[in-house]
Amino acid sequence: MVLEEFGRKAVELIQPRVEQQGFTPTPLPGITLVHGRSRIQRTPLLYEPSLVILAQGHKTGYLGDRIIEYHPGQYLVQTLPLPFECETHASPEEPLYGVCVRLDPALLSELVTARRQQGREAGKGNPLPMDSVPMTERMAGATLRLLEALQDPAEIQAMGQARVRDLVFESLNGEQGPALEALVLNQGHYARIARVLSELHADLAAAPSVEALAQSVNMSVSSFHQHFREITRTSPVQYLKRLRLIKAQQLLMQARVNVNQAAQAVGYRSPTQFSRDYKRYFGSTPNQTRQQLEAS
């Protein structure tokens, strides 16, 4: 019954708390509400490790050759920060509503450790950095309890973090549990590639060679290339380029920086090359992005 009523109840709880399209922060750190009223064509994006649970509407993610659908019956589990492309299906008649839960490494580690201490074995299967998994009644119930807590400041203070723990714990029981556990257990090629991605995000202006990245996780260059591509669906060079361009776009849209400053901040030494790569990836120039922001 919870699963059948999940979408309707979740929309009722989210709708009064959002006024504009996009992401709306909540008093709980790492919890944001999602709202959209129009269809958005396939667009490059970067999600940090998170759970994305939709109550209404539909999104399609494109990661290399993989197509990932998520909607009220399927929630998204993203364990690694990956540039990908996303298409949003929404309209004024059927808006999109959802909630995004950032995955806190400390909380995730605590929950995985507790499960292991109680004899829970690590999940089996090849970890995927991004996938949609079936919504279960327990996950639906945990989501509704979190959304209900957001309605009352006293409940947020007293029970907010417990509701988040409940939700993340249930995600560990789902089909993406092995990918979440792999981040904590620090075992295998998946965990090694995850460490490399963290290093790249920590210093975008650095220009490490593929050989240096492979050496940093004790892998041969050929093995590193193979496993990096299997996990991210792209090469290390292309991953870093896409990451820099998306971060540059965020700077142009959120901060008062010019195009040259954005290029330098993400590691580009040539503004001309930056503008060329930017237009090829986003379909518009950095200057057009700034103009759109100033016009809005």
Sequence ranges of the domains in the chain: 2-184, 206-295
Asked if 167 contacts 146 with a C-beta cutoff of 8 angstroms, the reply is yes
96 bridge partner residues: 36
pLDDT of residue 156: 95
Residue 51 token pair: 């759970």
In the chain, the percentage of residues whose pLDDT exceeds 70 is 95
Architecture field, domain 2-184: Sandwich (2.60)
pLDDT of residue 295: 62
52 bridge partner residues: 76, 100
Helix (H), strand (E) counts: the chain: 12, 10
CATH number of 206-295: 1.10.10.60
pLDDT of residue 110: 93
Cα three-residue angle 9-13-17, rounded to 5 degrees: 155
Please give the model's pTM, rounded to 2 decimal places: 0.89
Asked if 96 contacts 58 with a C-beta cutoff of 8 angstroms, the reply is yes
pLDDT of residue 288: 87
Q: What are residue 207's phi and psi, to 5 degrees?
A: -130, 65
Residue 280 token pair: 């090829």
Burial of 231 from C-beta contacts in 10 A (0-12 / 13-18 / 19+): buried
Residue 87 token pair: 């298409």
pLDDT of residue 204: 85
Spans of the chain below 70 pLDDT: 1, 118-125, 255, 293-296
d(CA 191, CA 196): 9
d(CA 235, CA 233): 7
pLDDT of residue 124: 59
Asked if 205 contacts 267 with a C-beta cutoff of 8 angstroms, the reply is yes
pLDDT of residue 135: 95
pLDDT of residue 182: 85
pLDDT of residue 118: 67
- E strand segments, the chain: 22-25, 31-36, 40-47, 50-56, 58-63, 66-70, 74-78, 82-89, 96-102, 130-134
pLDDT of residue 95: 96
